[in-house]
Amino acid sequence: MYYYIVILSLLCVSFFSFSDQRQFEQAYAPISVGQITIFIPVDYDIFPPKNLVVKESGSNYLIEWTGVPGANYYDIEQIINGKWVRVGSDIKALSFTVKKGHSANFRVSACNQFGCSTRPAHQNSLVVDDLEIKRFTASSYKVDQNTLTQLSWEVENASNVVIRSSEGKTFEQLALRGKIHVYPSNLETFTITASGFGQSLSDSLMVVVNIPREIIETTLTPYIEPLRGKGFDVIERSLLPLPSGVMFSTHDERVVMVNRSADVLWKYEMKGVVANKGKFVPELGSVFVSVSKLDGTGEICALDVTGMKEHICKNTVHSSISSPVVIDLPPSSEGEAPKKLIAVVDMKGKLYLKDPRTLESMYKVVDIPPELISEHITANIAVEPNSSNLILRVSPDRYVSISILEQSKGCRDLSSCTRSFMSLFSSSSNVQEQQEPTINIEVNWVKEHKE
């Protein structure tokens, strides 16, 4: 014999009332025993709003709160002369305005046909600052499939907090501070949105999921497709033929070298994804690659093609997707030889010039003029042979040619000569700062290309 209780909303001829003369329906629950079902009266308590915030606006208090599922309207009370007094009732919206003159302490009850919440949301402080998402983090940003990771957040001055995922999950009516457990099955982006008093802010994070790969045995051929059969999730644009084999990168942040039989010669674990075909410099025995990382930063790395040496990496401010190139920087003074440097442009247009042997910065990092860039730079960069002229794709149908030039070391006018002379009497740190090499960027042309 089975017993179960299900809350059921029923129209009923019996009512109960409160001191304000409002009448509510009685909630009933069905109880079934075998083929017999009876209904008994039950208490039904709706939850109060999760968040309640108050803000001063001229001579008024503005009040906002989080909506409650199942609520038909809301009642608002205010402390007046030490007692809770109802100042608003039957409010269908999620906001209300009260004239100043009494305390800024309010509470809100959610109501429906069965009654109002017995534990109203209570607020004791005013919002004085703008909306702010102080923290939105995951306990782990890289997990195994269907493994727990904990999202935690802290928001200030908001009346509503929602978290949505790229896989269609939605978490609503969240508190201003809290934690939830999620179990991602695929690469998933979570976005928190906080709103209140006409403002809205969002922040996102990504959780990478390690999905087991089935290794499929295939017959080896002269082609590179068997790499997938060996379990490598190859990034096709990264394939680089080399004298000793083929180098490529994978979506799980590795760079691998295989021989012509697809046997692995060496493997580097990276801190991000290498989404480009590296630049091989035979005289150095190195391949230079750029890296994009989950936190939005990047790296430029030098990989030894023999696999015998540790790879060298240096940070970039933003993710780097386009491949590094080798340039010949013309000298600023006559009689000097051009400098062979590694040039990298990150996604947001910052230009880095590196020493090919150490990857140390040779010049200050500079920005490509922002008016030239309408989208992130992700396509590989072309360089004119034996020059410092770069050609960049800055939008789907727009290309730009720039020249990289070393600033003159000499004084160009009385003012620069005076600064150079005064630097002789400056501290060593100031001299180093003043003498740090800089470069100029000149625009050669901008062209549109439509297919």
Chain centre to alpha carbon of residue 270:
20
* Cα-based torsion angle of the residue sequence 297, 303, 308, 312 in order, rounded to the nearest 10 degrees: -40
In 27-159, DSSP assigns E strands to 27-33, 36-42, 52-57, 60-65, 73-80, 83-91, 95-99, 106-112, 115-116, 121-123, 126-127, 132-138, 142-144, 149-156
By the 8 A CB rule, do 149 and 182 touch?
A: yes
Angle at 444 between CA 441 and CA 445, to 5 degrees: 130
Going residue by residue through the chain, which has 451 residues, state the pLDDT in tens, using 9 for 90 and above. Answer: 333 333 333 333 343 333 455 778 887 878 888 788 888 887 777 888 888 999 998 999 999 999 998 899 999 999 999 999 999 999 999 999 999 989 899 999 999 988 888 777 666 667 888 899 999 999 999 899 889 999 999 999 999 999 999 999 999 989 999 999 999 988 899 999 999 998 999 999 999 888 776 655 555 444 556 676 677 888 988 999 998 889 999 998 999 999 877 789 999 999 999 999 999 999 999 999 999 998 889 999 999 998 888 899 999 999 999 999 999 999 887 778 899 999 999 999 999 999 999 999 999 999 999 888 878 888 889 999 889 999 999 888 889 999 999 887 555 454 545 555 454 444 444 444 445 688 999 999 998 876 6
CB atoms within 10 A of CB 429: 8
Contacts of 82 (CB under 8 A, 6+ apart): none
By the 8 A CB rule, do 221 and 232 touch?
A: no
| pLDDT at site 322 | 92
DSSP for 166-205 reads TTS-EE-S--SEEEEEE--SS-EEEEEEEEETTEEEEEEE
- Phi-psi sector, 296: left (phi>0), alpha (psi -120 to 50), beta: left
Q: Are strands 52-57 and 126-127 parallel, antiparallel or unpaired?
A: parallel
- Rounded Cα–Cα distance for residues 265 and 288 (Å): 18
pTM, 2 dp: 0.51
| pLDDT at site 219 | 53
By the 8 A CB rule, do 191 and 204 touch?
A: yes
Contacts of 96 (CB under 8 A, 6+ apart): 63, 74, 76, 88
| pLDDT at site 117 | 86
By the 8 A CB rule, do 276 and 301 touch?
A: no
- SS percent in the chain: helix, strand, coil, step 5: 5, 50, 45
CB-based burial, 352-376: b 16+ in 10 Å, e otherwise: bbbebeebeebbeebebeeebbeeb
- Rounded Cα–Cα distance for residues 24 and 73 (Å): 13
Helix (H, G, I), strand (E, B) or coil at 258: strand
302 closest CA partner among 316, 318, 285: 285
By the 8 A CB rule, do 165 and 205 touch?
A: no
Angle at 119 between CA 117 and CA 124, to 5 degrees: 125
- Maximum distance among all Cα pairs of the chain, rounded to whole angstroms: 105
> Across-strand partners of 411?
none
| pLDDT at site 150 | 96
- Rounded Cα–Cα distance for residues 57 and 100 (Å): 9
By the 8 A CB rule, do 404 and 354 touch?
A: no
DSSP conformational letter for 253: S
Continuous H helices in 214-266: 226-229
Domains of the chain, earliest start first: 52-127 (2.60.40.10), 132-210 (2.60.40.10), 291-448 (no CATH)
> Across-strand partners of 99?
60
Continuous H helices in 74-173: none
39 closest CA partner among 61, 13, 20: 13
- Rounded Cα–Cα distance for residues 381 and 389 (Å): 10
Contacts of 331 (CB under 8 A, 6+ apart): 337, 338, 339, 406
The two tokens of residue 366 are: 């500079």
